[in-house]
Amino acid sequence: MIGQEKLIKQFDDMIENNTLPRFIAIFGKSGSGRKTLAKHIADKLNATLYKPQNNKVTVDYVREIIEQAYKQTDTIVYLLPDVDYFNKSAANALLKITEEPPNNAYFILTCWNGRSIPKTIRSRCVEYRTAPYPVTTLIDFAKSVGIDIKTSNRIFEAYDTPGSILNYAKGEADYKALEEFTEKVIDNIGTVSGANVFKIDERIAFKEDDEGFNLNAFWTVFGNVCMQKAKDMRTSKRNMYFSYVRVTGGYREKLMINGLNKRSLFDLWLLEIRNIYDRYN
């Protein structure tokens, strides 16, 4: 919540004076602490923060919290995040509870701006907006989390909130881990024992909810690393790496076809890659 001290104090004062609105809309860019502010409010109220799975507000979620809200005896804060994509049916369902909200329930909506919130819902919310971040604040924050970023305003055209900087840092760390893993795969692709040691197939996510590296991301990095190796070589193996790139690019295109089994594609790809290795070694 760095940089949002004024807004935090405003919420704290209302909670202390028992004047906190039942319906709150927090506007601001992604990564500006909107959901963290909702958690702060819940903590100050000694309340439970209830939020949807995957931060996706559906009509079923809205109906669920409406039914639940009237039965609750303890204070509870219901979060409706990213309502920039508010479903019309969900908005209509929420409208019913705005007319007679239960005394122990608070509803916090977060979004980029208020234009996407239906007027019927927006008119019943008290609106608050996260403060913009000066470049110096973002640079200090980046350094505090171990990111070495040049002190240039242009750096923060894309990463202009603490949350986006943290996502950038995570992305950099994830890419580095994936690149290191890919290097090991390439160096050991010719030996069955090597492939088993690194358990290639266990490190790849074949389903959306599986842990591991995204298959498309793995193939992208695999192609990038092989292309770099090919450029650095002047031997016959240069063509081997170019063949890796060509075959992997074809499988990435197949991956875009709905209905194809990712695990089957991966097994075929691995077999073809190892055949290329055998041809050049």
Instruction: Give tens-digit pLDDT for 120-137.
Output: 888 888 999 998 888 788
CA-nearest of 80, 138, 149 to 108 is 80
Q: What is the pLDDT of residue 152?
A: 47
Whether the per-residue pLDDT at 250 is higher than 50: the answer is yes
Segment 106-118, tens digit of pLDDT:
999 998 877 777 8
Whether the per-residue pLDDT at 227 is higher than 80: the answer is yes
Whether the per-residue pLDDT at 16 is higher than 90: the answer is yes
Segment 75-88, tens digit of pLDDT:
999 998 888 777 77
CA-nearest of 211, 207, 210, 181 to 195 is 181
C-alpha 213/C-alpha 221 separation (Å) is: 11
DSSP at 116:
G
Helix (H) or strand (E) holding 105: strand 105-111
Q: 5-132 maps to which CATH number?
A: 3.40.50.300
Whether the per-residue pLDDT at 155 is higher than 60: the answer is no
Domain ranges of the chain: 5-132, 189-280
CA dihedral angle for residue 11, residue 16, residue 22, residue 23, rounded to 10 degrees: 0
77 backbone dihedrals φ, ψ, rounded to 5°: -115, 125
191 dihedral zone (left: phi>0; alpha: psi -120 to 50; beta): beta
CA-nearest of 18, 165, 20 to 7 is 20
Residues 174-183, mean pLDDT to the nearest whole number: 88
Q: What is the pTM of this model?
A: 0.64
Whether the per-residue pLDDT at 24 is higher than 90: the answer is yes
Q: How far is CA 145 from CA 109, 139, 140, 260, in A?
A: 29, 10, 9, 40
Whether the per-residue pLDDT at 261 is higher than 90: the answer is no
